[in-house]
Amino acid sequence: MNTFGAVVTYNILKGPLTPYAEGFVAGTYINTDIAAGPPVVGCYFDPWFGQICGVSQPTKSDTFFSTGIGGGLRWDINKYVLLRGGVRYQWIDLSNTGVPGFTIFKIDIGFKF
């Protein structure tokens, strides 16, 4: 599972140690590793190694719309490096099975320019 999107973060206090709140909208790619068809055999010619053949198995995978909220604590270690720890709750819109949600605990290391 991979999630790519836009996050809006609000630092509640000014200063090097502050709680924060965040919200995001994203797309979440899920690959189940469950077979979605028969194995596929393919071959190609490589100029260095000659004929190369292999087998691959298509799997059930898709990208879904997801949203979430979260919060935690941010510490500006110095003017270039920050450390954040927090918790995030994420909902994924699986069109045929509802909207499951789950909790993510995270630690971020950030660099400021």
This prediction's pTM? 0.72
Classify residue 52 as exposed, middle or buried by CB count within 10 Å of its CB (0-12, 13-18, 19+): exposed
CB 97 within 8 A of CB 91: no
CB 60 within 8 A of CB 39: no
Q: Where exactly are the structural domains of the chain? A: 2-34+60-111
pLDDT tens-place string over residues 80-100: 999 999 999 999 988 777 778
The confidence score (pLDDT) of residue 73 equals 97
pLDDT tens-place string over residues 10-61: 999 999 999 999 999 999 999 988 999 999 999 999 999 999 999 999 999 9
Residue 75 banded pLDDT, cuts 50, 70, 90: very high
